[in-house]
Amino acid sequence: MSRIYSINPHHSCDYGVDFYNGAAAVPTANTALIAWFTAKGYTVVAGSDTLSPWDYLTIEQLAGFAPYAGINPAGMTKAALVTAIETALITLMKIEITAFDAIADVDGGDLAEPVYADAAAVIAALPTSVTATFANGSKATVPVATWVDTDTYSKLAAAKYTFTATLGALPLPFANTAAVTATVEVEVKA
């Protein structure tokens, strides 16, 4: 779906599509319809399957709210105001990761019988998600894209080897701007 914004922010219907205060949602697959609106000067925003709650407001209502989100609405179209408000609110609502739950050490065997042949084998056995604690005290599972061999794992040397998680995409509204890391130790005993 795509959001379509009319040149007239109070528009209610055009080309058989119902508009709400100048905004409508139409299927992206309907390229002829999208092309028609684009040719007529409408703003097309792809990737949204429904109108947001902000789309149902008038441009005057949006302009009245915008300063509370730190936005100067002067000269902005409805499409620009909706985008700016949504972006500002997502930024304001981010919940920061403050820590990760400890991950139990992984038994790497011993020098005579190591469990893992190399770092790639260790990484393949490590978890694909970790538990994060957020600034508000809540916890959630976040994805791990991969693990980095921080200490150059070797099955031939008895030691504790640290692996550091590279996080996957965090779902909104979570953020990790402080770059808090999750680590796990793999121990090869003598």
Which residue did the predictor score with more confidence, 95 or 72?
72
Q: Out of 51-60, 134-143, 155-164, pick the least confident.
A: 134-143
- Give the structural domain span for 113: 95-189
Is 137 found in the same domain as 85?
Answer: no
**Of 53, 71, 92, which one is at a domain's C-terminal end?**
92
At 14, is the pLDDT very low, low, confident or very high (cuts 50, 70, 90)?
A: confident
Please indicate, yes or no, whether residues 59 and 125 belong to a single structural domain of this protein. no
pLDDT confidence band for 49 (50 / 70 / 90): low
Q: Are 75 and 147 contained in the same domain?
A: no
The amino acid present at 171, given as its one-letter code, is P
Q: How confident is the model at residue 86 (pLDDT cuts 50, 70, 90)?
A: confident
Give the tokens for residue 183: 């680590």
Are 1 and 28 spatial neighbours (Cβ–Cβ below 8 Å)? Answer: yes
Tokens of 174: 């979570």
Residues 78 and 42 in one domain: yes
pTM score of the predicted model: 0.57
* 127 and 54, same domain (yes or no): no
Q: Which of 92, 107, 133 is the last residue of a domain?
A: 92
User: 160 or 170: whose pLDDT is higher?
Assistant: 160
SS3 137: coil
How many structural domains comprise the chain?
2
Domain boundary among 39, 64, 92: 92
Structure tokens at 85: 């408000």
